[in-house]
């Protein structure tokens, strides 16, 4: 009874104390609790907003100058996909791309420049590589300039001139892909190694980014490399003739990446299709001509979009608006003029050469020529057949399935029986010659195949002012960014195109002199 009485008294005292508590104190207590709850809620919302922004922002780097946009702007080839696959393209994120030559130094001792990628002073990335903030990372992709920007020099110690729209005759794209796959699958390619080199290079990643690198990004890159090696590995191996400098197999990677074909099940001869990068200036008069080396399309817009797919965009990620900026610019981009040094073009010789050119070459190669832009059958042109044979009727049928029910639907691709006659504007900057780049100079092209060089170096940018092309007999030790071209290998034949080979040496020299001015 006494215990119960004490408990009752204690309970009454407690209630009395609370009743006696100031209303102001009660208000402040409740206010503090509500503020605490509100601050926690705001913090959670800010964290969620930051995560949403981190993974949903899609912001390419744009440039006010169309030439800069061409060199570094996006066309949509940066890695796309979902949050679970943010590194699914042909290039890794920015900081990994930057540090890979350091991680795998023995695989690429000269850095990306040794593969022919062109760097401008004070530029962070090579020409042809775009940057886009997407899914929380600065991601990279290829654009048109990678394959369509070249360099030349007039003398060994002369200024290096960069020409936009010119074939990237120095680019070794196949070796670039080999390096990317080999390095990302190397045992040194670990999160710890990558993060240490990013820090050494001045990169400042957030704690959140470092966690993602360790838990997700590096693993996804390795998975993507394994996927690409599974799809394209046969094209990078010894069973296929090396592409070499300034060439690419356009459509066989297309088969594996866009249509998921099992390339190892295709006939071996169909997997050899390397050809020169073309020039892309002066496109307006090319509309309705047979485009690509084998003339498989006559629409400039479809050709551009197809090339963008080859650069790594997909029908989902392609940036049509930014691609149109480039399309409109190259529509009227003039070809480069031959370097105007005193005595470089002999006006008397060039005048004589013009008459000969119009008699022997203009019908197939001058704008307005009766056969310019048409396809000459292989049995008549006689050049190497591999590029023609690598583009099949079945591929043309599959391409017609892309972009269905849209304005971008492919409808102009077709299989042909030969090679297209190309206009020769700016031809001095488009060496080596023939569709597969098997003849180093214009003067060599006017010789019968037996008298054309069998082996020569590609990738040297020193102009040959006499034969017109690039110096091709340079020793390997003087040209570390060169590769030897062997015309005896499948796909590399320098046969065919016998037009003008029966002219006198003096007549051939005059035609070449005139062609400097085209």
pLDDT of 55 reads 55
Least confident of 105-109, 215-219, 333-337, 499-503: 215-219
pLDDT, position 449: 97
Q: What is the mean pLDDT of the chain?
A: 88
Q: Where are the domains of the chain?
A: 2-52, 58-146+173-234, 243-518
Q: What's the rounded mean pLDDT across residues 396-412? A: 89
Number of other CB atoms surrounding residue 218 within 10 Å: 22
Q: What is the mean pLDDT of residues 72-76?
A: 92
**pLDDT over 80 at 167, yes or no:** yes
Asked if residues 481 and 112 have their Cβ atoms less than 8 Å apart, the reply is no
pLDDT at 183 over 50: yes
Contact criterion met (CB below 8 Å) for 445 and 428: no
| Residue 86, pLDDT score | 41
* Residue 353: predicted pLDDT: 97
- Residue 18 pLDDT more than 90? no
Q: How confident is the model at residue 84 (pLDDT cuts 50, 70, 90)?
A: very low
- Under the banding of pLDDT at 50, 70 and 90, the label for residue 516 is very high
Mind listing the pLDDT tens digit for each residue in 493-514? 999 999 999 999 999 999 999 9
Q: What is the pLDDT of residues 217-249, one digit of tens each?
A: 899 889 888 988 988 899 999 989 999 999 999
pLDDT class for 344, splitting at 50, 70, 90? confident
Q: Which residue has the higher pLDDT, 21 or 331?
A: 331
**Would the pLDDT of 335 be above 90?**
yes
Looking at 51-55, 111-115, 180-184, which range is the least confident one?
Answer: 51-55
In this predicted structure, the answer to whether residue 491 has a pLDDT above a threshold of 90 is yes
* Cβ-contact 306, 252 below 8 angstroms: no
Q: Is pLDDT above 90 for 414?
A: yes
The 3 state secondary structure assigned to 446-482 is CCCHHHCCCEEEECCCEEECCCCEECCCCCHHHCCCC
> Which long-range contacts (C-beta less than 8 Å, at least 24 apart) are formed by 335-338?
335/165, 335/279, 335/281, 335/282, 335/425, 335/426, 335/429, 335/518, 336/163, 336/165, 336/166, 336/281, 336/426, 336/429, 338/428, 338/516, 338/517
pLDDT on residue 425: 97
| Neighbour-count burial for 133-160, b at 16+ CB within 10 Å, e otherwise | bbbbbbbbbbbbbbbbbbbbbeeeeeee
- What's the confidence (pLDDT) of residue 30? 72
Lowest mean pLDDT among 22-26, 89-93, 409-413, 491-495: 22-26
pLDDT higher than threshold 80 for residue 2: no
Helix (H) or strand (E) holding 47: helix 23-56
The answer, yes or no, to whether residue 85 has pLDDT greater than 50, is no
Contact 210, 269 (CB under 8 A): no
> Which pLDDT belongs to residue 1?
47
Q: How large is the average pLDDT for residues 87-99?
A: 80
- Kindly tell me if the per-residue pLDDT of 204 is higher than 60: yes
* CA proximity to 231, closest of 251, 261, 271, 202: 261
Residue 174 is predicted with a pLDDT of 95
User: Where is pLDDT greater, at 64 or 38?
Assistant: 64
Is 61 a residue whose pLDDT tops 70?
A: yes
DSSP-assigned letter for residue 267: -
Residue-level pLDDT at 334: 97
pLDDT score recorded for residue 343: 61
Least confident range of 233-242, 377-386, 443-452: 233-242
Q: What integer pLDDT is reported at residue 440 of this predicted model?
A: 97
pLDDT given at position 59:
76
Selection from 427, 421, 423, 444 nearest residue 517 by Cα? 427
Q: How far apart are CA 421 and CA 303, in angstroms?
A: 16
- Residue 215: DSSP 8-state: I
Beta bridge mates, 163: 150
Helix (H, G, I), strand (E, B) or coil at 142: strand
**Mean pLDDT along residues 352-381:** 97
Q: Identify the pLDDT of residue 15.
A: 46
pLDDT of residue 31: 67
- DSSP codes of every residue in 397-415: HHHTTSSTTSTT-------
Confidence of residue 477 (pLDDT cuts 50, 70, 90): confident
Q: Cα dist. 122→72, 125, 126 in Å?
A: 13, 9, 11
pLDDT at site 330: 97
- What average pLDDT does the segment 266-275 reach? 94
């Amino acid at each position: 009874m006494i215990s119960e009485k004490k408990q009752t008294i204690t309970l009454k005292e407690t209630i009395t104390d609370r009743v006696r508590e100031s209303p102001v104190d009660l208000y402040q207590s409740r206010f503090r609790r509500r503020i605490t709850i509100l601050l926690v809620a705001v913090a959670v919302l800010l964290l969620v907003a930051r995560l949403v922004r981190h993974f949903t922002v899609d912001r390419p780097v744009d440039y006010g100058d169309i030439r800069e946009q061409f060199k570094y702007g996006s066309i949509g080839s940066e890695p796309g996909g979902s949050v679970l696959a943010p590194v699914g393209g042909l290039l890794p994120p920015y900081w990994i791309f930057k540090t890979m030559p350091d991680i795998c130094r023995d695989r690429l001792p000269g850095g990306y420049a040794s593969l022919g990628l062109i760097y401008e002073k004070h530029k962070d990335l090579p020409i042809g590589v775009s940057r886009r903030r997407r899914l929380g990372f600065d991601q990279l992709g290829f654009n048109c300039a990678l394959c369509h920007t070249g360099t030349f020099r007039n003398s060994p110690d002369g200024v290096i001139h960069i020409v936009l729209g010119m074939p990237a005759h120095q680019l070794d794209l196949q070796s670039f892909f080999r390096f990317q796959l080999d390095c990302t699958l190397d045992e040194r390619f670990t999160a710890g190694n990558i993060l240490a080199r990013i820090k050494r290079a001045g990169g400042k990643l957030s704690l959140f980014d470092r966690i993602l690198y360790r838990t997700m990004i590096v693993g996804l890159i390795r998975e993507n490399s394994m996927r690409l090696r599974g799809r394209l590995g046969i094209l990078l191996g010894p069973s296929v003739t090396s592409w070499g400098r300034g060439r690419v197999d356009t459509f066989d990677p297309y088969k594996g990446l866009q249509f998921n074909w099992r390339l190892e099940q295709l006939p071996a001869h169909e997997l050899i299709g390397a050809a020169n990068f073309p020039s892309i200036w002066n496109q307006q008069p090319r509309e309705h001509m047979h485009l690509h080396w084998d003339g498989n399309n006559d629409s400039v817009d479809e050709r551009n979009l197809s090339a963008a797919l080859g650069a790594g965009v997909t029908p989902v990620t392609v940036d049509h608006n930014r691609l149109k900026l480039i399309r409109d610019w190259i529509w009227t981009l003039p070809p480069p003029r031959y370097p105007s040094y005193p005595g470089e073009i002999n006006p008397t010789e060039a005048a004589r050469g013009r008459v000969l050119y119009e008699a022997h070459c203009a019908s197939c190669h001058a704008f307005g020529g009766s056969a310019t832009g048409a396809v000459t059958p292989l049995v008549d042109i006689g050049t190497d057949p591999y590029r023609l044979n690598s583009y099949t009727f079945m591929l043309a049928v599959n391409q017609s399935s892309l972009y269905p029910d849209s304005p971008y639907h492919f409808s102009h691709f077709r299989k042909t029986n030969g090679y297209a006659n190309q206009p020769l504007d700016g031809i001095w900057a488009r060496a080596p010659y023939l569709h597969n780049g098997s003849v180093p100079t214009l003067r060599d092209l006017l010789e019968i195949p037996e008298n054309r060089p069998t082996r020569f170096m590609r990738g040297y940018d020193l102009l040959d002012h006499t034969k017109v092309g690039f110096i091709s007999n340079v020793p390997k030790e003087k040209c570390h960014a060169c590769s030897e071209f062997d015309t005896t290998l499948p796909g590399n034949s320098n046969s065919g195109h016998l037009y003008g080979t029966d002219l006198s040496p003096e007549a051939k020299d005059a035609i070449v002199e005139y062609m400097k001015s085209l």
